[in-house]
């Protein structure tokens, strides 16, 4: 049995009910810094000695992966669970990579309406999608220039530093994901120096794995991996 003693759901700048322009992130490094601060306050001070695992989905996966590259963070966590991590995100047009850094300075909060579309579904479960998009805290508008550039920037950084990853991890990705690249998760698995690492590729699954019809099976895969890590640590 896994008993969760402490859990935090980080709601980043521009998301959920946070202040400021909805959908706007000035720097994802702020999110990495917030995560490190949380680890210091909650893990080191309040729950020192208890095993700590970080979970991140999509851009959140990129955030926790970058944080784990810091030796001061790595030493305090037992593993990462990454679902559809944003290690590589392909812009809708190659020119975007060229102009995004420029316009993120000139007009950081500008919403690129020309690129806005509900796009390919992120789940094969229509009811799950209805629930997701009906939530007023879910941002569904056009992407803001700075936010998009920040996602490109952190993914580019991770691609250059995959071989530095040493923390144990489980990465899960759907092969039909068109938001983040499942091949990048494979490259993480192949290039990382982690001794304990696992990858789960789900044939035909889309981006939001925990909204997919098979979400219970995916959750069980995560729980099984967590249990194996805890058993290996001889802590429970």
- pLDDT tens by residue, the chain, 236 residues: 455 545 555 445 555 556 677 788 888 999 999 999 988 887 778 888 889 999 999 999 999 999 999 999 999 999 999 999 999 987 654 445 656 666 667 666 767 765 545 556 899 999 998 998 888 888 877 788 888 889 999 999 999 999 999 999 999 999 999 999 999 999 999 999 999 999 999 999 999 999 999 999 999 999 999 999 999 887 54
- CB-based contact 68:40 (threshold 8 Å): no
- Pairing mode of beta strands 169-174, 197-202: parallel
All residues at 6 or more sequence positions from 201 whose CB lies less than 8 Å from its CB, including other chains? 172, 173, 174, 175, 182, 185, 186
| β-bridge mates for residue 172, sequence order | 83, 200
Q: For residue 38, what pLDDT is reported?
A: 87
Q: What superfamily would CATH give domain 28-230?
A: Alpha/Beta hydrolase fold, catalytic domain (3.40.50.1820)
Distance of CA 137 to the CA centre of its chain: 18
Strand, helix or coil at 42? helix
Q: For residue 146, what pLDDT is reported?
A: 85
Q: Give phi and psi for 26, each to the nearest 5.
A: -75, -35
Residue keyed to tokens 């990382």: 192
Q: For residue 33, what pLDDT is reported?
A: 94
Rounded distance between C-alpha atoms, residue 64 and residue 159, angstroms: 14
User: Alpha carbon of 207 to those of 77, 98, 181, 234: distances in Å?
Assistant: 26, 26, 9, 34
Nearest residue to 208 (alpha-carbon basis) of 132, 106, 103: 132
């Amino acid at each position: 049995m896994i008993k969760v003693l402490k859990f935090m759901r980080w709601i980043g700048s521009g998301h959920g009910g946070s202040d400021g322009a909805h959908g706007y992130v000035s720097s994802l490094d702020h999110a990495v810094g917030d995560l490190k601060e949380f680890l210091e306050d909650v893990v080191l001070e309040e729950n020192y000695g208890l095993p700590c695992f970080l979970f991140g989905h999509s851009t959140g996966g990129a955030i926790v992966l970058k944080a784990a590259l810091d030796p001061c963070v790595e030493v305090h966590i037992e593993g990462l669970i990454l679902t559809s991590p944003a290690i590589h995100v392909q812009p809708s047009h190659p020119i975007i990579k060229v102009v995004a850094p420029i316009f993120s300075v000139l007009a950081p909060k500008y919403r690129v309406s020309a690129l806005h579309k509900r796009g390919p579904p992120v789940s094969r479960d229509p009811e799950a999608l209805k629930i997701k998009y009906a939530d007023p805290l879910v941002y569904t508008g056009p992407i803001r220039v700075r936010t998009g550039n920040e996602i490109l920037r952190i993914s580019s950084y991770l691609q250059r530093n995959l071989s530095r990853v040493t923390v144990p991890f489980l990465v899960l990705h759907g092969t039909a994901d068109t938001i983040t690249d499942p091949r990048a998760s494979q490259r993480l698995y192949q290039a990382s120096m982690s001794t304990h690492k696992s990858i789960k590729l789900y044939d035909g699954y889309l981006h939001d794995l925990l909204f997919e019809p098979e979400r219970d099976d995916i959750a069980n895969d995560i729980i099984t991996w967590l249990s194996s890590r805890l058993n290996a640590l001889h802590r429970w």
